[in-house]
Structure 1
Amino acid sequence: MLKSRLITAFILIPVVIAALFLLPPVGFALVTLAVCMLAAWEWGQLAGLATRSQRIWLSILCGLLLALMMFTIPDYHPFASAAIVKYALGASLAWWAVALVLVLFYPRSAAFWRHSCTLRLLFGILTIMPFFWGMLTLRQYHYSVNHFTGAWWLLYVMLLVWGADSGAYLFGRALGKHKLAPKVSPGKTWEGLIGGLVTSAVISWLFGKYAPLDALPLSLLACSVIAALASVLGDLTESMFKREAGIKDSGHLIPGHGGILDRIDSLTAAVPVFACLMLLIFRAI
C-alpha cells in the first residue's frame, strides 16, 4: 500500500504542478471542473444515493451548475470582484464553521442530518462549489500582469496543505498519544496536528523567502495558519461523512490513495478559505 501511494504521489505531484503553470485559464478551469464532477460523483455515495445513475446525474448537474456560473462572469473580468464568486467564497467560511460544530459534537450532531439526503447533498454543494471558485480565483489572480502569479499562490496553498498532512502523519506516528477526534478519525492526534502546523510554518517561511510572492507578512501568516487548520477540518469532515456511510474510501480512482475526495478533502476547505481571507477580507494581496 505504501509503495503504491508513493509511486502515485511521484506521478501526480509533477502533473499537478505542470497543470498549474502550463495550462491557460480555460484549460485549467476545465480540468478543475472535471475534478469537481468526479468529486460530486463520489459525494453521491456519502449523501446516500444508492444507484450509479443517481450519482451520474449528480455529477452532471454539478458540472452544469458550475459551468453556468462561469458563463455569468464576463471575459477577462477578475473573478475576485464578481458577486457570485464573493458569495461562493463567503459561503465557504459559513459552511466550514458549521462543519467544525458538526465534527466537534459528532456523533450527536449526526442526528440532525443522518437521515436527510437533501442536507447531505447541500453539504456536498457547499464543499465542492467554493473549492471550484477558490481554485479559479487564485489561479486567475493578476493573470493579465503576470501569467504565473496565481499559479504560485495556488502552489503555496497546496504545499501548506501537503505539509500539514505529511507533518501530521510523521509526527503522529512518532509522538502521537493524545487523540484529536477519536469518534471521527481515531488515527489523528494532537501531536500530529501540532507537527503538521510546524511543518506548514516552515514551508510558509521558505516559500515566502524564495518564491515570488507579494503579500502583507502578518496577514499572510494569519491566513496561512487558518488555512492549515481548515485543511485538517476538511479531512475530518470527510472522515465523518464516510464513517456515517460505512465506507473507508470515497472511491478507488487513484491507486493507493482512494478516490478524488480522499485526495482533495483538505484542499476543499483550505483553498476557498485562504482565497476568501486573502482577497476579500484582509485584502492582503
Structure 2
Amino acid sequence: MRQRVITAVVALILFIPLIVIGQMPLQVVMAMLGGIAVYELFRMKGLEIKSTEGILAIIGAVVLILPRSTWYDFLPKSVNGNTLFYLIVMALLVLPVFLKNALTFDNIGFPVLVSLYVGTGFQNFISARETGLHVLMYALLIVWSTDIGAYMIGRKYGKRKLAPDISPNKTIEGSLGGIACAMVISLVYTLIWPLTYNVVAMLLLAIVFSIVGQLGDLVESSYKRYYGVKDSGNILPGHGGILDRFDSLLFVFPLMHLVGLF
C-alpha cells in the first residue's frame, strides 16, 4: 500500500501539470504511453514487439493518437489519422505475402485490434483536453471516483462477487458504491462547471460512464487472466503497467465523444 501511495503521488505531481499545459507536450506523452500500452498487450500474449507487426501496431496507435492539426497539417486535407491508420492495416495485411504465410489473417487481427483499442482511447483523451481542461477533468474524476468508491465500499460492505471468474476481489456492492461516488462527483462538478447537458442528464451519463469504466477494467482483467499475468507491466511500482491505470479511460473517453461532450 505504501508503494502504491508513493507512486500515485509522484504520478500526479508529474501528470497534473502536463494536462494543464496540454498541447504538444501532452500529445507526445500520450503517444509514448500508447506505445507502451501496445507493448504491454504484445508482452501479455507472448509476442515480440520488435517484430514487423509489433512495430506497425505501435505506429498504428501513434498515428491515431496524434492530432492532425498539429502533426499532419502538411498533408492533403483528405488525409487524417484514420487514413494513415488504414494504411498501416493494409501494410499488416500484405505481410503474409512477403513472409510466405508465416503470418495468417488471424495473426494480423491481433495487432490491428490492439492499435485500434489503444489508439482510439488515447486519441479521445487528447480531444477532450483540446475541448477544455474542465471536460478532461470531469472524465478523470468520474473514473477516479468510481475506482476509489468501488474499492472503499467493496472493502467494507462487499459480499456478492461481481465477476469471480475474471476479478475475484470485485463485488456488486463495490460496483454500486463506485457508481454512487461518480454521481456525487458529477453533481458537484457540473453545478460548478456546467458541461454540454443539464445537471440531470449529466447525472444519468455519470452512471453510464461509471459502468462503462468498470467494464473497461474488467475487460483488461479478462486479458490478464487469459494470458496468465498479474499486471500488464511493471512501469508503475505498486500499480502495474500503463494499461492497468488507463483501462477504464480507454473505454470512457470514446463514449464521452460519442455522446457529444467533446
Q: Pick the TM interval, shorter chain.
A: 0.7 to 0.9
2:4 paired residue number: 5
Q: 1:70 aligns with which of 65, 68, 71?
A: 68
Deviation sequence 1:23-53 (CA, Å, 0-9, x none): 3x2222112111111111111123441x352
Tell me if structure 1 keeps the 8 A contact 2:161–2:169: yes
Distance 1:225 1:213 in 2: 16
Aligned AA (2:219): T
User: How many angstroms does 1:56 deviate by?
Assistant: 5.8
Tell me if structure 2 keeps the 8 A contact 1:160–1:203: yes
Moved more, 200-209 or 242-251: 200-209
Deviation sequence 1:40-97 (CA, Å, 0-9, x none): 1111123441x3523862564235533677368659xxxxxx9967xx9xxxxxxxxx
Asked if residue 219 in structure 1 is aligned to residue 177 in structure 2, the reply is: no
**Structure 1 residues 58, 253: closer, same or farther in 2, change over 3 A?**
farther
1:132 paired residue number: 122
Distance 1:68 1:155 in 2: 20
User: How many angstroms does 1:131 deviate by?
Assistant: 0.8
2:113 paired residue number: 123
Asked if residue 157 in structure 1 is aligned to residue 155 in structure 2, the reply is: no
2:253 paired residue number: 271
Asked if residue 42 in structure 1 is aligned to residue 40 in structure 2, the reply is: yes
Tell me if structure 1 keeps the 8 A contact 2:66–2:123: no
Q: 2:224 aligns with which of 237, 242, 245?
A: 242
**Structure 1 residues 29, 220: closer, same or farther in 2, change over 3 A?**
same
Aligned AA (2:44): L
1:61 paired residue number: 59
Tell me if structure 2 keeps the 8 A contact 1:8–1:254: yes
Tell me if structure 1 keeps the 8 A contact 2:142–2:185: yes
Task: Report the 3-state secondary structure (helix = DSSP H, G, I; strand = E; otherwise coil) of the residue aligned with 2:42.
Answer: helix
Aligned AA (1:175): Y
TM-score normalised per structure 2: 0.79
Distance 1:13 1:273 in 2: 24
Distance 1:184 1:67 in 2: 29
User: How many angstroms does 1:243 deviate by?
Assistant: 0.8
How much identity, in percent, do the aligned residues show?
32
Task: Report the 3-state secondary structure (helix = DSSP H, G, I; strand = E; otherwise coil) of the residue aligned with 2:162.
Answer: strand
Tell me if structure 2 keeps the 8 A contact 1:46–1:120: no
The list of structure 1 runs, each at least 4 consecutive aligned residues, that deviate by more than 6 angstroms after superposition, is 82-85
Distance 1:21 1:176 in 2: 36
Task: Report the 3-state secondary structure (helix = DSSP H, G, I; strand = E; otherwise coil) of the residue aligned with 1:252.
Answer: coil
Distance 1:43 1:3 in 2: 27
**Structure 1 residues 198, 162: closer, same or farther in 2, change over 3 A?**
same
**Structure 1 residues 64, 235: closer, same or farther in 2, change over 3 A?**
closer
Tell me if structure 2 keeps the 8 A contact 1:160–1:228: yes
User: How many angstroms does 1:213 deviate by?
Assistant: 4.1
Tell me if structure 1 keeps the 8 A contact 2:167–2:221: yes
Tell me if structure 2 keeps the 8 A contact 1:40–1:58: no
1:30 paired residue number: 28
Distance 2:179 2:234 in 1: 29
TM-score normalised per structure 1: 0.73
